[in-house]
């Protein structure tokens, strides 16, 4: 959807790199710099790591986020330019992102709640493969998966770790989640599943004391979990801005054709 709002008050945030800090200084001098709470839009200067951090920090504010690439990986970022930034912001297209909510219960029955924009992933903590049981909407779908781990990825995260694990690329507006195993040993040929984004996913850890497993929601890690619940949090919609012709939908489509 096209953005038609005026963005007079801009909040700039930047990664610690020299490149990003130099851009921050230059843009602040040209456009000023407001606190995120007072701004109409937040502009993130860095790479995808900074974009994820900025989205997490502004998850409950409703502020639109516009990224400019001053980092390493820039899949979620627009091209960097200091020219006529307010006009670019006004012309940008908006993509709405719903995060995943992870509810992880550890071996001591402590419950940990975290959101993920890209994926919720479970990993083995030792040399022994994890043994996992998978339930979808409270129905057992796999009694035992032996693997290095498994992840639930959003469309926005489907081109990140999910793709590296040979998971499918999802169009950004697809009402789907990718359930992707990480180095599955048994069933050996299982490549994962596509789930509706309304699915309630439960992953139970079997033999957790012998084969400990960690759960990670983007960058928030919980060690020694015994049960992880994942669902799309429809109460939160994050607004990401992209230049026309470079929308997240277009980037994901291009990625599927290898360019």
Tell me which residues are annotated as active site: 48
| Beta carbons of 136 and 125 less than 8 angstroms apart | no
**Count of alpha carbons within 13 angstroms of residue 115, beta-carbon side:** 19
Cα 168 to Cα 147: distance, rounded to the nearest angstrom: 18
Cα 229 to Cα 175: distance, rounded to the nearest angstrom: 19
Backbone angles phi, psi at 19, to 5 degrees: -60, -45
């Amino acid at each position: 959807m096209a953005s038609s709002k005026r963005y007079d008050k801009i909040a700039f945030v930047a990664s610690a790199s020299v490149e990003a800090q130099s851009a921050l200084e230059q843009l602040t001098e040209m456009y000023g710099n407001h606190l995120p709470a007072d701004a109409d839009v937040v502009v993130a200067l860095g790479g995808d790591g900074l974009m994820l951090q900025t989205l997490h920090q502004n998850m409950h504010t409703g502020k639109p986020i516009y990224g400019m690439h001053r980092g390493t990986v820039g899949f979620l970022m627009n091209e960097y330019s200091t020219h006529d930034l307010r006009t670019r912001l006004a012309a940008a297209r908006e993509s709405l992102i719903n995060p995943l909510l992870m509810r992880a219960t550890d071996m001591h029955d402590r419950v940990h709640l975290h959101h993920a924009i890209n994926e919720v992933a479970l990993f083995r903590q030792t040399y022994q493969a994890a043994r996992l049981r998978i339930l979808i909407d409270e129905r057992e779908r796999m009694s035992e998966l032996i693997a290095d781990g498994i992840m639930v990825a959003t469309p926005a995260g489907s081109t990140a770790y999910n793709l590296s694990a040979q998971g499918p690329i999802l169009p950004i507006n697809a009402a789907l989640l990718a359930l992707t195993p990480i180095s599955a040993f048994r069933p050996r040929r299982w490549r994962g599943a596509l789930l509706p984004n309304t699915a309630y996913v439960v992953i139970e850890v079997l033999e957790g004391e012998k084969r400990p497993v960690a759960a990670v929601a983007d960058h928030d890690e919980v060690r020694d979990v015994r049960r992880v619940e994942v669902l799309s949090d429809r109460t939160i919609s994050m607004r990401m801005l992209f230049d026309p012709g470079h929308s997240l939908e277009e980037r994901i489509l291009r990625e599927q054709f290898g360019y």
